[in-house]
Amino acid sequence: MKKVVALAVVAVVAVLIWQKVSERTLEAEDLTPEDRIVRSLDERIDKAKDQIVQASRAAGLSGVDSGGEAEAALRELDRIESEIRSLKSGSDSSRIHQECDRLMSKVEAARR
């Protein structure tokens, strides 16, 4: 009986995972080019913010100068900010404008 219950649980989990993966695949296919750019910029902001945090931790814990790493992440945020402005000025969609505003706020928060 335990084997049947365990098998049922594994089957349910497998179905749920498959559905989640399928949803993500469909989402990616349904995205407009602008939405893909927004998603990419969002991910790049997160990565740059993580690099800044890691650099400050490394400097705080070991006293090692990691200013170069933080500086590179800040330059990446500058590039991202420029791309956001370009996307916003080239789009007529109010939704994309809102996304650009959200991304700009996220860039500002990452710099702090």
Q: What percent of the chain has pLDDT over 70?
A: 85
Distances (CA, A) of 49 to 37, 40, 61, 76, 110: 18, 14, 18, 10, 5
Q: pLDDT band at residue 82, thresholds of 50, 70 and 90?
A: very high
Predicted local distance difference test score (pLDDT) of residue 95: 94
Q: pLDDT band at residue 23, thresholds of 50, 70 and 90?
A: low
Predicted local distance difference test score (pLDDT) of residue 13: 79
Predicted local distance difference test score (pLDDT) of residue 28: 59
| Cα 9 from Cα 49, distance rounded (Å) | 39
Q: What is the overall mean pLDDT for the chain? A: 85
Instruction: Give the predicted TM-score (pTM) of the model.
Output: 0.70
Between residues 26 and 29, the one the model is more confident about: 29
Tell me the average pLDDT across 81-88. Answer: 96
